[in-house]
């Protein structure tokens, strides 16, 4: 795992929208930080800047000791796993093929990729023999979400970015997924930044919670117990 440092980052979109202004935040290696705040406050923009889907217009982002703008994009893809709401699985590929996306991009041998896929599906609680050959539409919402997590873990990233990973599933499944996810995190210990607008989820999952307001302003940054005033 590697730490993440946001150093005065800002994003002005081409249309002039200032989504984020001067945000600084440090995430320790192996820590799970939750970004919470109202819709439109810039949470997704922050995640997309960290994995360089979009470029910051101000400031600097460090992954461990490296400025992300200086890391080769292919290498960065491997170092950062990304999980989004509704997962974005390829509908015409099987579960196994979806999970193998990054390993194949990296040119792993078929055997190595296959072994890794089986291991990952086991890790997220899906029997590879049963689920590997299915297509995304043959899964429940919760199962699709697990496949999304498995795919993000496929190249053994040092960092996981998760944008509302559990919000597309019903509340009962969500609670179960959150619990399993915490067990998984105890095992794999990634540095994680997770975006949500659900305070219960933030409190349940976060080692620390960053409360953002409009323009990505950092209002509070603390452990859940401190934020709740215990």
What is the smallest separation between the CB atom of 210 and ligand ADP, expressed in angstroms? 12
CB-nearer residue toward ligand ADP: 55 or 138:
138
Token pair of 111 as six digits: 């055997």
Q: Where are the beta strands (DSSP E) in the chain?
A: 4-12, 18-27, 32-36, 58-63, 66-67, 80-84, 159-163, 191-196, 208-213, 217-222
Distance of closest approach, residue 3 Cβ to ligand ADP, in angstroms: 23
* Least distance in angstroms from the C-beta of 83 to ligand ADP: 14
- Distance from C-alpha of 124 to C-alpha of 149, rounded to nearest angstrom: 7
**In whole angstroms, how close is the CB of 55 to ligand ADP at the nearest point?**
12
**Nearer to ligand ADP among residue 15 and residue 72 (C-beta):** 15
Strand arrangement, sheet containing 32-36: 80-84, 159-163, 191-196, 32-36, 208-213, 217-222
Q: Closest-CB residue for ligand ADP?
A: 140
Tokens 């291991």: give the residue. 119
Closer of 6 and 41 to ligand ADP (Cβ): 41
Nearer to ligand ADP, 156 or 180 (CB): 180
* Binding residues vs ligand ADP (CB under 6 A): 13, 15, 17, 19, 37, 39-45, 138-143, 173
CA-based max dimension of the chain = 52
């Amino acid at each position: 795992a590697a730490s993440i440092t946001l150093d005065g980052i800002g994003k002005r979109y081409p249309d002039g929208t200032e989504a984020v202004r001067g945000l600084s935040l440090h995430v320790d290696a192996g820590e799970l930080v939750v970004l919470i705040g109202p819709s439109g406050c810039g949470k997704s923009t922050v995640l997309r800047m960290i994995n360089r889907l979009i470029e910051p217009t101000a400031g600097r982002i460090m992954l461990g000791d490296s400025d992300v703008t200086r890391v080769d994009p292919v290498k960065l893809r491997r170092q950062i796993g990304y999980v989004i709401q509704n997962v974005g699985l390829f509908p015409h590929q099987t579960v196994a093929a979806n999970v193998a996306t990054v390993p194949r991009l990296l040119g792993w041998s078929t055997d190595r990729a296959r072994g890794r896929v089986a291991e990952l599906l086991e890790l997220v609680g899906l029997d590879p023999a049963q689920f590997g050959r299915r297509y995304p539409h043959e899964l429940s919402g919760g199962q699709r979400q697990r496949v999304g997590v498995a795919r993000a873990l496929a190249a053994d990233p040092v960092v996981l970015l998760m944008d509302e990973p559990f919000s597309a599933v019903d509340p009962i499944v969500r609670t179960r997924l959150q619990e399993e996810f915490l067990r998984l995190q105890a095992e794999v210990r990634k540095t994680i930044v997770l975006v949500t607008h659900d305070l219960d989820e933030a409190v349940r999952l976060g080692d620390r919670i960053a409360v953002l307001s409009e323009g990505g302003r950092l209002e509070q940054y603390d452990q859940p117990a401190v934020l709740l005033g215990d």
